[in-house]
Amino acid sequence: MNHSGTLYVVATPIGNLQDITLRAVDVLKAVDVIAAEDTRHTSGLLSHFAIQKKLLAVHEHNERKAGEQLLLRLQAGESVALVSDAGTPGVSDPGAVVVAMAQAAGIKVVPVPGPSAVIAALSAAGIATPGFRFHGFLPAGGSQRRAALQALAESVVTLVFYEAPHRVLDSVQDMAATLGGERVLTIARELTKTFETIHRLPLAEARAWLEEDANRQRGEFVLLVEPATPKETGPVDAEAERVLRLLLAELPLKQAVKLATDITCAKKNALYELALSLKQAE
Ligand code: SAM
């Protein structure tokens, strides 16, 4: 591996140390220095894998300044591995600032993929939708949290949140109030650890379920909410349908829909759907 002057962004386990990848171990062994969110925490991980390496602290409060030091090392030809306390750096963790600085300086940046709680939770939630929106942590304050949730209420993809144990009760309650109590919540707690729990239930029942047993409120959480049901486009009235049919007989579909929308003021989506079904029925 020719690694001189390279910044490796290395994912580390989110609980179970066996989840580290073979490549991550190789890279951590090979680099000149490891930049860690918390050097004491990372020392524990390294000693588990019998790796001895110089550690530098790069955390939320010194990321830019520490980044400048790292750049000097990288420009001098050293290789650096960037790790956070758990999971993938830059995912609700420091990392993005250093990576952006390295990119801007023309340094080679290499991802070493591995664990991340968002992906682990999605893989075990069984929500069959093509997309998801990772929101990370919601705001701590109630009104800001509800506003953030309100802005996501109509999203037709799975919503994924990180949450701390002391806020999980309030968060699920606000989710029920803003997103709708009937929507299914997946609580993914302590993934890959001894007390791993994956539980699905309607949002309206989530707070009571968590309160039933204090242990259910402990540890680390990923909360996933199934997508909102797409809004009905509404029926097209008989006059709008008559106009659409006339235009469709003379014009290409898109043009007919646009003109029919202008003439009748019916909803464009509804007219478009109807136009498609009329064409298919021909
Ligand atoms: N960088 C990490 C990643 O890639 O997932 C996330 C770091 S963020 C500071 C920590 C949050 O991630 C926790 O509060 C929790 O919401 C989530 N998390 C991390 N490990 C987890 C686990 N084992 N089980 C459930 N959630 C976890």
Per-residue pLDDT band at 231 (split at 50, 70, 90)? confident
**Contact, 99 vs 116, CB < 8 A?**
no
133-151 burial, b at 16+ Cβ within 10 Å, e below that, comes to ebbeebeeeeeebbebbee
Report the Cα–Cα distance between both ends of the chain, in Å, rounded: 62
Same domain flag for 194 and 276: no
Confidence at 229, pLDDT banded by 50, 70, 90: confident
Q: Looking at the structure, do residues 194 and 272 belong to the same domain, yes or no?
A: no
Least confident of 94-108, 168-182, 220-234: 220-234
Ligand 1 mutation pick, 9, 92, 159, max ligand atoms within 8 A of CB: 92
Asked whether residue 234 carries a pLDDT value surpassing 80, the answer given is: no
CA distance 7 to 80: 5
Residue 60 lies in a domain: yes
The reply to whether 1 falls in a domain is: no
Tens digit of each residue's pLDDT (9 = 90 or more) over 82-118: 999 999 999 999 999 999 999 999 999 999 999 999 9
Q: How far is CA 102 from CA 32, 82, 111, 225, in A?
A: 16, 12, 13, 36
87, 115, 143: which is the final residue of a domain? Answer: 115
The DSSP code for 237 is: P
Whether ligand 1 lies within 6 angstroms of the CB of 37 is answered as no
CA–centroid distance, 115 to ligand 1, in Å, is 10
User: CATH number for the domain including 105?
Assistant: 3.40.1010.10
pLDDT classification of 3: cutoffs 50, 70, 90: confident
233, part of any domain: no
What are the tens digits of pLDDT across the range 105-114? 999 999 999 9
**pLDDT tens sequence across 19-34:** 999 999 999 999 999 9
Q: Does residue 232 surpass a pLDDT of 70?
A: no
Are 182 and 273 in a shared domain?
no
Q: How far apart are CA 88 and CA 95, in angstroms?
A: 9
Residues 251 and 273 both lie in one domain: yes
In the chain, pLDDT over 90 holds for what percent of residues? 85
Tell whether 230 is covered by a domain. no
Q: Which residues contact 100 (CB under 8 A, 6 or more apart)?
A: none
Could you tell me if residue 232 is inside a domain? Answer: no
Task: Give the contacts of 252 (CB within 8 A, at least 6 positions apart).
Answer: none
Q: Write the CA distances from 8 to 3, 42, 116, integer angstroms.
A: 9, 16, 16
Domain around 177: 118-225
Domain CATH number, residue 210: 3.30.950.10
- Is there an atom of ligand 1 within 6 Å of 186 CB? no
Q: How far is the CA of 168 from the centre of ligand 1 (A)?
A: 14
Quote the crossing angle between the two packed helices 253-264 and 238-250, to the nearest 10°.
Answer: 140
Q: Are residues 184 and 268 part of one domain?
A: no
pLDDT single digits (tens) 154-173: 998 999 999 999 999 999 99
Residues 111 and 69 occupy one common structural domain:
yes
Atom of ligand 1 nearest to the CA of 117: 5
Q: What percent of the chain has pLDDT over 70?
A: 98
Domain end residue (candidates: 115, 138, 171)? 115
Considering the domain boundaries, does residue 231 fall inside one?
Answer: no
Helix axes 168-179, 142-152, angle to 10 degrees: 40
Domain tally for the chain?
3
Q: Say if residue 110 is in the same domain as residue 123.
A: no
- What pLDDT is attached to residue 233? 64
The secondary structure of 253-279 as a DSSP string is HHHHHHHHHHHH---HHHHHHHHHHHH
- For residues 144 and 205, membership in a common domain is answered with yes
76 & 135 share domain: no
Kindly give the number of the ligand 1 atom that is closest to the alpha carbon of 137: 16
Does residue 71 share a domain with residue 43? yes
What is the reported pLDDT for 238? Answer: 86
pLDDT at 279 over 90: no
Q: How confident is the model at residue 1 (pLDDT cuts 50, 70, 90)?
A: low
Where a domain ends, among 59, 81, 115? 115
38 close to ligand 1 (CB < 6 Angstrom) = no
Asked whether 197 and 125 are in contact (CB, 8 A), the reply is: no
Same domain, 110 and 127: no
What's the pLDDT at 2? 61
Q: Is 14 in the pocket of ligand 1 (CB under 6 A)?
A: yes
137 and 88 in a common domain: no
